[in-house]
Structures are given as structure tokens and as C-alpha cells.
Amino acid sequence: MEYELISKPGADEFAVRPNLDDYEGTRAAFDYERVIDELDGLPGGGLNIAYESLDRHVAAGNGEKPCILWESKDGRSETYTYADMARLSNQFANVLQQLGVEKGSRVFVFMDRTPELYAAVFGTLKAGCIIGPLFSAFGPDAIRDRLENSGAVVLVTTPKLKAKVYEVRDDLPELKHLIIADHAEPPEAAEGELSWNELMAAAPETFEIVATGPEDPAIMHYTSGTTGKPKGAVHVHKAVLGHYATGKFVLDMHPDDIYWCTADPGWVTGTSYGMFAPCTNGVTSVIYEGGFSARAWYGVIEKYKVTVWYTAPTAIRMLMKAGDDVPKRHDLSSLRYIMSVGEPLNPEAVVWSEQALGLPFHDNWWQTETGSIMIANYAGQAIKPGSMGQPMPGIEPGIIDDEGNVVEPGTEGDLAVRPGWPSMFRTYWRNEELYNSCFRNGWYITGDRARMDEDGYYWFVGRSDDVINTAGHLVGPFEVESALLEHPAVAEAGVIGKPDPIAMEIVKAFVSLKEGYEATPELRRELIGFARGKLGPGVAPREIDFIDSLPKTRSGKIMRRLLKARELGLDEGDTSTLEDD
């Protein structure tokens, strides 16, 4: 299906382009180094993400502005100003220093989305340590792998979550301090534990930020594990230039915005865009401690009058599944700009949101390794549904062939980016060899396949590992999944290549159905016919299996490698990020 270009009337008011005039007006002229003029820096040429996020605003007289509007799981609201967050993070930085934790040490957090989590992240950065966030739904093995690989010396966790840590604590000789924090009740510290409340109460409220330079490591994030074992991507303080600039130009942040990023800080989106981009731009963020439900999410938007919303395709597909009546019961008129990241955004989802929410989702592309958004559909530009958009100013992506040469527009190839942007990862922790293998002919190879059209829009084809070779055609699973999603019965689809003696691989789809539809042989035939009509017989699935739900990472990405391993009866590999059924 051909989708129409979507542009929102009035979007120009917030368009990204006028702001770009400050940077001589063109994408090419955009110079990341100039961004630093808009930030403060530390005395002596230093740079610290936490200072730029919090203290800079306090120093400018904006300390009383709300930084976080926190909504607890049980519906309580609390407000934290920029001055509050600066003070709390100072205290935690003092705690680390008093414990003798040195610059460059790894400090991990394993907590729900409470204000303490945010204070711990910023405090760790102020102390010059490297912060490592773990998603609170991880099991003991996932925790052990990451703490062991990183050599973390401090872990901040909660009374509820600590049992999982105790299961593996004996395997972690480098982990010296276990700090227990609870937002609700100050817990008693047990033997071998430290109490967050006691430590914080004794810690001074001012702190001289440790002298960090632009190239000092600041944060490490393990990747989502969609294609294999998660890797610890390391980012430096200079990444803040990317957080700030993309917050301004892609997220289109304006001072009065109420912004909500739904990602958990256990994943890079939840720190780069749940903390650093909004805070460096001085906007007010909603932090919702609870999990997904369509009613609760629309309720958060209504209650806090969210204006800018950043979420992910898996959540959008769930909202679609919940039906168009649910948004109608809420006043969502505060929303002016909505975005998606993390997986390909099916064009159907863009068309749906235009109709059901009155706004199209703007897709953008980046990954843990890139640290900030690389390609985006901007607020003021027409969207081509199904496209990831155009490069962020100052970023040079390319579609390249096996030799590292740029291919013609319209041709599929490896999506690569010219190294050197500020938020580029500097290594995979303790795996320099793997890091070095990511570069070819002067390009960073992202592991994704894509093409660029004549207008300079980028289109996602698939992960290199997922591309299917069927009878001499290369087929990206995304295209097939998106076609299936256009059928009213289909809630989600995951597509793999199944080995075949004649065609090399055949296209096989796994489909979960919307409520009210039954998995019958007739429906299977109908779906195959439907896909053929859209894609042609060479690309349409030859086999379709119905399943209740697709295996996904805890960050919501379809794990095609697991569908394939299960289909072929092979070892499932690393499943530490697999969502519970």
C-alpha cells in the first residue's frame, strides 16, 4: 500500500528549521562543537552531564522550575524541582565519596522508576563514576552477567528487588557496597547492607563536582539483546552535546513543554531521553512508575497535560489493540508532538495514530551504541509513514556495500554512520575486539540494513542477521510484518527465514490475532492471500503459524532469533532480556 505524506497543520509553529538558523541554516553547516557554547562546561574545560542537566539551571536562577512530576504506581503525585534534584544528587555524590568510591568506578542501579533512581544516576555522574542502570524486571542471571562484566563496586537496589541480588552476590567479589533505598518506607539496613536514608541524611547538600573531561566515561548501557548476548556500550560526558542538541531539534523541546518518555532507564532511551535530553533543555518531565495499560497511559497524558510524548512501537501496537474507544474517553488535547523509537514503526501505526489520536507518530532511529538520535522525522516536516526520516544535522549516515562504498539512492545496503559524533560509544566494556569489528572503510557499521530514497529519507529493511534470502531475493522481515499488520485480524507479526532445500530460505510468519478472531486454516489461507496481494508471491510468507504472543525483549522488541531457534529446535542462546510470558 502507498501511504500519503502526513503533515500536521500548524506544525511549522514548532518546526525545527527556524532554530537551525542559529547554526547557519543548513544541516551540513551544523557543528556539534558549537553546541558546547550553549552549555556551561566545568571550570578548566571540563564537562559533566549531571551539571549540564541540573546545576546549570539552578545557577541561571531556574532552580524552582519543576524537573520531575512523579506519579507513583498507586497514583500519588510528587514534584521535584531542578534545585531538589541538584541537592539530592549532591548528597548521593557525597555518599559515594565518603564510601571511598573512586572516579571511574562502576556504580549500578537496580530499582523501579522512583526519584531515588534519578538522584543516584545524577549523583554518580557528579562523583565522576560510571553509572550502569539495570532494568528492574531482570532476573538473577541477567544481574550477575552485567555486574560481573562491569566490575561494579556499588549497587543501589530496593527491599523488594534485593532478593534477586542475594541469589548471585557470592559470584560478585568486586561488589563492595549494597545500598538499599525505598521511596515508601525507610528500611532497616540488614547486616552487610547500607541504608540509603541513613547515608543521605548524613551527607552534605553541596558537592564540588569531580573534574570530569569530555572524554571521561560517564554511562554504560547493555544493549537489548535482540540479536545476541547484550554488550556493554560505554559513553562519555561529551555525549551530552548529542542529548542536548537532539532534545532541541528532534524532540522539539520548548521551555513550557510537559514531556513524557515512557522508556525505563534500564535502556538507553530512558537515560538519554528520559533524563539527559529533557533536563539539559530545562523542560519538565513526567515520570510514571507504573507499567503499561492503555487506560493508565492515556490517563497520565490527561492528568499532567503532556505536550511531547516519546514511546515505542510495541506500546503503540498495544494501544491499537486496545481499540479506538479508549482514547476517546480521555482529553488528550494537550499533546502536540508524538514520537516513536526502538523498533521499526509499521506505517499502519502512523496512520492509526493520526486518526485515533489526531497526531501522527514521528519515527526516529538510533541505537545504544549511537547514544543519541541519528535519523528522525522532524516536528515540522512531512512524514513518509514507514520511513525513519532524515539525518540529524551534523550526522552523516550512509548506505554502504560490502567494501564500504556508498551505494546509489534506492539500493539496499548496510546502514553506517561516519564516526566522530559526540555521543558515539567509545568501546564495548571489556570487549575491544568486538568494538573494533564494528568499523569498515571509515564507517561505523550499525548492524541494520536500510535504503535511502531520492528525497534523502531512510527506510529500515531489517537487522543484518534477520534478512531473509529466498530464491535469490533479499527480503526484510519488517516489510512482510507491516503488510500483515494491515489485515484487521492481525495484532502482531514476526517473520523469519526458514531453511529450505530449494529456495535456500522461505518466508515464515508468526502471527498473533486481535481479540474476536479465531486461528483457523481459512484465516491462515486468507492472510497468505492478503500478503501475496500486497507483496507478490516471492516475498509473501509461504507459511504462517498462529501464536498467542511473540517472544520479546523486556524493552518490547520482537526477538526473531528466538522464533527461528524454536522453529528449528536450536539452542535459544542468551535469553536474559526475554520478557516473561
Among residues 410, 423, 418, the alpha carbon closest in space to that of 450 is found at 410
For ligand ATP, the binding residue among 57, 87, 169, 463 (CB under 6 A) is: 463
x-or-dash string of contact with ligand ATP, 550-579, rule CB under 6 A:
-------x----------------------
* 180 or 268: CB nearest ligand ATP: 268
The C-alpha cell at 262 is: 515512557
* Minimum distance of ligand ATP from residue 561's CB (angstroms): 8
Q: Return d(Cα 321, Cα 303) in angstroms, integer.
A: 23
For ligand ATP, the binding residue among 283, 388, 461, 539 (CB under 6 A) is: 388
Phi, psi values for residue 383, rounded to 5°:
-95, 135
Which range, of 146-154, 445-453, 482-490, 510-518, touches ligand ATP by CB under 6 A?
A: 445-453
Pairing of strands 232-236, 217-222: antiparallel
Phi, psi values for residue 536, rounded to 5°:
90, 155
Q: Return d(Cα 279, Cα 117) in angstroms, integer.
A: 15
Q: Return d(Cα 121, Cα 553) in angstroms, integer.
A: 24
Residues 222-241 that bind Mg ion (CB under 5 A): 223
* Minimum distance of ligand ATP from residue 242's CB (angstroms): 15
Decide if residue 363 touches ligand ATP (CB under 6 A).
yes
* Minimum distance of ligand ATP from residue 460's CB (angstroms): 4
Decide if residue 460 touches ligand ATP (CB under 6 A).
yes
Judge contact between 360 and 6, C-beta under 8 A: yes
* Minimum distance of ligand ATP from residue 384's CB (angstroms): 13
Site size toward ligand ATP (CB under 6 A) is 25
* 115 or 132: CB nearest ligand ATP: 132
For ligand ATP, the binding residue among 18, 25, 204, 228 (CB under 6 A) is: 228
- Say which DSSP state 132 is in: E
* Minimum distance of ligand ATP from residue 368's CB (angstroms): 3
* 187 or 266: CB nearest ligand ATP: 266
* 223 or 482: CB nearest Mg ion: 223
* Minimum distance of Mg ion from residue 342's CB (angstroms): 11
DSSP string, 1-32: -PPPPB--TTGGGG-HHHHHGGGTTSTTT--H
The listed partner (Mg ion, ligand ATP, none) that binds 249, CB under 5 to 8 Å by sort, is none
Residues 24-83 that bind ligand ATP (CB under 6 A): none
Decide if residue 348 touches ligand ATP (CB under 6 A).
no
* 157 or 272: CB nearest Mg ion: 272
Q: Where are the beta strands (DSSP E) in 72-185?
A: 77-81, 106-110, 130-134, 154-157, 177-180
x-or-dash string of contact with Mg ion, 206-225, rule CB under 5 A:
-----------------x--
The C-alpha cell at 199 is: 547515608
Judge contact between 460 and 451, C-beta under 8 A: no
Judge contact between 67 and 82, C-beta under 8 A: yes
Among residues 28, 510, 499, 428, the alpha carbon closest in space to that of 217 is found at 428
Residues 472-511 that bind ligand ATP (CB under 6 A): none
* Minimum distance of ligand ATP from residue 222's CB (angstroms): 8
Decide if residue 342 touches ligand ATP (CB under 6 A).
yes
* 99 or 350: CB nearest ligand ATP: 350
Rounded to 10 degrees, the C-alpha dihedral 66/72/77/80 comes to: -20
Decide if residue 284 touches ligand ATP (CB under 6 A).
no
Please enumerate in sequence order all residues whose Cβ is within 8 A of that of 479, keeping only pairs 6 or more positions apart, or say none. Answer: 461, 535, 539
Site size toward Mg ion (CB under 5 A) is 1
Residues 168-227 that bind ligand ATP (CB under 6 A): 223-227
Phi, psi values for residue 273, rounded to 5°:
-115, -5
* 207 or 444: CB nearest ligand ATP: 444
* Minimum distance of ligand ATP from residue 409's CB (angstroms): 19
Q: Where are the beta strands (DSSP E) in 223-275?
A: 232-236, 258-261
* Minimum distance of ligand ATP from residue 221's CB (angstroms): 8
Quickly tell me which residue has 523488594 as its cell.
160
Amino acid at 85: M
* 49 or 388: CB nearest ligand ATP: 388
* 323 or 419: CB nearest ligand ATP: 419
> Taken in order 314, 236, 228, 452, is the CA torsion positive or negative?
positive
Kindly give the interhelix angle for 115-126 and 82-98, rounded to the nearest 10 degrees. Answer: 60
Judge contact between 425 and 463, C-beta under 8 A: no
> Which three-class secondary structure state does DSSP give residue 22?
helix
Q: Return d(Cα 527, Cα 407) in angstroms, integer.
A: 35
Which range, of 125-133, 152-160, 202-210, 362-370, touches ligand ATP by CB under 6 A?
A: 362-370
* Minimum distance of ligand ATP from residue 446's CB (angstroms): 6
Interface residues with Mg ion (CB under 5 A)? 223
Interface residues with ligand ATP (CB under 6 A)? 223-228, 230, 267, 341-345, 363-365, 367-368, 388, 446-448, 460, 463, 557
